[in-house]
Amino acid sequence: MDQTTPDEHAVVPFLRAGPPPDRTRWEGWQQWRKIRGTFVPAPRLTLAEHQSLSPRRRALHDLHRTATHVNMRLQETPMSARVANLMRGRLQNNAVKFMPGTRDGLMINGGGFQGKTETACDAAASFEDVWREVHHQLLPGRTPGTRDVFVPVAYCRLPVRATPKGLCKAILNVYGDPHPGTLDDLVRAVRDAIRHHHTTALLIDDITRLRLHREDDQDTLDLIRELMDLNVTLVLIGVDIPGSGLLRGAYVDQRTGQWIFPDIARGRGHQTATQTSRRFDMVDLDPFDYSTPAGITAFLDHLAGIEDQLRLLRGFPGMLTTGEMPEYLFGRTRGVVGLLRRLTEDGCTDAILTGEERLTPELLARATIHLGNLNDLDPAAGEVPDIPQDVAPPTKSKPRRGRNTVLDDRGNRSAAGD
């Protein structure tokens, strides 16, 4: 039987059973870690092959194509590669240090929908893949009657209205551990959980929900710094960290370029004053740049990677990378990876439903970029990006983009080097 035409009564293999994994729970993180990158895209069919399918097979193939377009693989960009390489190196270096003391942390900074979370989680999962193999040789077997759970990477999100208690509960939820009643007991439980589960990396997302205008925000940041004493690598992920106030009291070490947070004894019960400073590297995950030839090349390479994953019946090589399409896509998204992904998804859906089966500026002009469910995002913290106003599709009289043509941040043309 032709592999491109599934059996009439075969089980649909590309649909997910149940809700998506919840990475803020260790079980969900493990499920996601194991299945990431395993999605099998729809086979490529010509228009004639598609039309020759039975109605049921054609409908299933269209559904598989839709699943392919909304589950495109995570593509590495020059910006994300810089972040991922620094993060993997930091996690590995800190994991094999035997001397006591704080471990240098990492702050990942960038705008909303620029792929910070996915880049950080993928780098942490890659580290965990290796670290689990190493620890099979070091950890004893399971002890009957106990709950032995190895959690080398813990990922949580800061609550919208952060408090020290709220952060402690978010961390304990990763392990499924109970919540003691008092703050001192909560902090003690967090420390015990990180140690007992052999957690090496603690990722705290949405860190810039701390605006530090409230005492609870300041106490929460102090608690985060304290956790570095546990030989765990802290990875803080946020939007516009320099403008959020989180760096208040910190200074840059001119020798290393790291941000240093000196200990501040605030006189609270959960504070443990020491003489150890907390050091963080901060790395930016920027959108694509269309103002230099190198930036244009990187953007075109990214578009080519997207194009390779599409399953439109009238698609063609260069559909996204030639003519006016690159300029149009950059104008609609300003090079923000998440916005480009949403625009492509919606455009592909429209192309399939209308039978156009290819992406053009005219078709994409009908699509409004929808950011989906925003209930778990905090606009005040910059987690919801500004969507550029719709850009009119290019006219035939409009000059075509050359390799030496660049766009400024408003989408206006200029010659490279001007």
> What's residue 246's pLDDT?
84
Task: Report whether 206 contacts 167 (CB < 8 A).
Answer: no
| Type of residue found at 108 | I
> What's residue 400's pLDDT?
43
Task: Report whether 107 contacts 283 (CB < 8 A).
Answer: yes
Please tell me the distance from the alpha carbon of residue 307 to that of residue 314, in angstroms, as a whole number. 12
Residue 298 structure tokens: 């990187």
Residue 411 structure tokens: 């989408």
Count of H helices and E strands in the chain?
Answer: 13, 9
Work out whether strand 233-239 and strand 201-205 pair parallel, antiparallel, or are unpaired: parallel
E strand or H helix at 233, and its extent?
A: strand 233-239
> What's residue 134's pLDDT?
85
> What's residue 143's pLDDT?
55
Report the b/e string of 59-74 with b at 16+ CB within 10 A: ebbbebbbbbbeebee
Check residue 323 and give left, alpha or beta (phi > 0: left; psi -120 to 50: alpha).
left
| Type of residue found at 268 | R
Count CB atoms within 10 A of the CB of residue 300.
18
In sequence order, the 6+-apart residues with CB closer than 8 A to the CB of 119 are 74, 80, 83, 84, 108, 285
Would you mind telling me the total number of residues written for the chain in this entry?
418
Nearest Cα to Cα of residue 26 among 166, 115, 151: 151
Residue 103 structure tokens: 């471990």
| Type of residue found at 402 | G
Per-residue pLDDT of the chain (418 residues; tens, 9 = 90+): 344 444 555 556 777 777 889 999 999 999 999 999 899 999 999 999 999 999 999 999 999 999 999 999 999 999 999 999 999 999 999 999 888 878 899 999 999 889 999 999 999 999 999 999 887 766 656 655 545 689 999 999 998 888 999 999 999 999 999 999 999 999 999 999 999 999 999 999 999 988 777 788 888 988 988 888 888 999 999 999 988 888 877 889 888 888 888 765 444 444 443 445 788 999 999 999 999 999 999 999 999 999 999 999 999 999 999 999 999 999 999 999 999 999 999 999 999 999 999 999 999 999 888 766 555 666 655 566 666 665 666 555 443 444 444 444 444 444 443 4
Helix spans in 285-336 (H): 293-309, 325-333
Nearest Cα to Cα of residue 273 among 226, 219, 218: 226
> What's residue 53's pLDDT?
95
In sequence order, the 6+-apart residues with CB closer than 8 A to the CB of 370 are 342, 346
Helix spans in 136-199 (H): 164-175, 183-196
> What's residue 189's pLDDT?
96
